Amino acid sequence: MKIPLLDLQSQLQPLREEIVRAVTRVVDSTTYILGPEVVGLEEEVALYCNGACGVGVSSGTDALLVSLMALGIGPGDRVLTTAYSFFATMGVILRCGAEPVFADIDPVSFNIDPKEMAKVLENDKGKTIKAIIPVHLYGQCADMAAIMTLANEYAIPVIEDAAQAIGSECPDGAGNWKKSGTMGLAGCFSFFPSKNLGGIGDGGMVVSNDTDFGEQIRILRNHGAKPKYYHAEIGGNFRLDPIQATVLRIKLQHLEKWHAARRNNAAYYNKLFSESTLVQDLKVKLPVAVYKKQAEASETTKNYHIYNQYVLRVDDRDSLIDWLRSQNIGCEIYYPLCLHEQECLQGIIDTPSLPHAEQAARTTIALPVYPELTIEMQEYVVEQIVAFYKR
C-alpha cells in the first residue's frame, strides 16, 4: 500500500470541473489583479472567522510581513515569538530589521508557553518588545486568553500567525469561544496548497476586527498607494491573485467538512495507537486536543483542533521515518531545527537553550491525516509503526 503524506489529487477530483469553470471565468474576464473574486473571498473569509475585515495578500509570509510593516516594526525593535515554527515566523521579523526574541513552548500543545512569555517580558527592561507573534501550530490555538492578558498588561499588539489554523477555536477567558486570527490585532492566514484551505499556488490573508488597521494593510499591499500613484507610505506588492481567490472560494464551502474528517482521522489514529502497546510502553505519545466544548444541541464534546498536522512524539524518530518511507508511507518532521538554531542567526542573536522546543524538534513526526485518508490506510500506518518497534 502506498500512502502519501498529503493527497491533493483526491481532494481535487470532485471539485475539478467547478474549479476549471471558475478559473476560466477569471481568465475570460481579463481582470487579473485583485477584482471581484478577491473582494468576494475577503468578505467570505472574514465572515467565516467572525472578523470585521479581511485583506487578501500574496502569501501567509507576506500577511505576517505587511502586518509588522503596518505596526512600524523596524531596527531597534524586538518581536516576541516561538522558536518552534516554520521559518517565515522569524524571517519576517528579520526582514523588517527587527530582532526576534523567543519564549519556550508548552510541551503538551507545542505552542508558545505564556508562563515563559511572562519571564521574557519581565526581563525586557528597555521596553524594546514592540509586538508579539504567537503561532497556532499544527491547527490548534495557542493559549490566547493568557497571551492577551499579558499583551494588554504590557500594551503590546498581537499578530496571530494562524497559517495552519483557519477555523480552529479556543476560549477567550471571558466565557466566549473565538476563532483563530480574531483575538489579537490581526490574524495571518496561509493558503499554501498543503493547508486545510489551500489554493493552487501561494496566497494569504490578514483578518482583523480593527477596520482602520485592515485599511492600512490594504494600502500597504499595493505599494502604499492611495489613491493610485500617490504614496504616503512605502508598501510592497502583496496582492492576492484572483485565480487563487476563485479557487479558494470554492474550497471554503467544504472546509468544515474537511476539518471534521481530519478530526475523525485523528480520533481513529488515537484509538488504534491506544489499543496497541506503544502508548503504554511510552514509545509513542499522542497529540493532545487542548480545547473542547459541548457541541451545540448535543451532549457530546466537540474538538476544536483542525489537525493541519497529526504529530506524534516518538522514540528513535529518525529511524522510524526511514522505516515508514521504506514501507511507502509518507511522513515528515515539522520542524527538525528550532528557529534559534538556524545557521543564519548564529553569531547575530544569542538565545539561551529552549529545552521543550528543542526536544520537540528531535522527537516529533507527522503522519498522513488528510480528509480522504481511508480506515485501511490508517490501519496500515499504525501496523507498520507497531512492526517497527517490535523488530
pLDDT tens by residue, 40-50: 999 999 999 99
| pLDDT above 90 (res 352) | no
The C-alpha cell at 292 is 473542547
Where does CATH 3.90.1150.10 sit in the chain? 255-389
In the CATH hierarchy, which fold is given to the domain comprising 255-389? Aspartate Aminotransferase, domain 1 (3.90.1150)
pLDDT at 12: 97
Q: What is the pTM of this model?
A: 0.95
Summarize pLDDT for 201-243 with one digit per residue, the tens.
999 999 999 999 999 999 999 999 999 999 999 999 999 999 9
pLDDT at 302: 62
Segment 326-340 shows an average pLDDT of 97
Where does CATH 3.40.640.10 sit in the chain? 8-103+110-252
pLDDT at 373: 98
Quote the mean pLDDT of the chain.
Answer: 95
Could you give the angle at which helices 114-122 and 144-154 cross, rounded to 10 degrees? 10
Q: How confident is the model at residue 294 (pLDDT cuts 50, 70, 90)?
A: low
Q: How confident is the model at residue 261 (pLDDT cuts 50, 70, 90)?
A: very high
Q: How confident is the model at residue 67 (pLDDT cuts 50, 70, 90)?
A: very high
pLDDT at 158: 98
Name the 3-class secondary structure at 324: helix
Q: Domain 8-103+110-252 - what CATH class?
A: alpha beta
Q: Is 349 exposed, middle or buried (0-12, 13-18, 19+ CB in 10 A)?
A: middle
| pLDDT above 90 (res 291) | no
Segment 129-137 shows an average pLDDT of 98
pLDDT at 303: 64
> Pseudo-torsion of CA 63, 58, 367, 80, nearest 10°?
-20
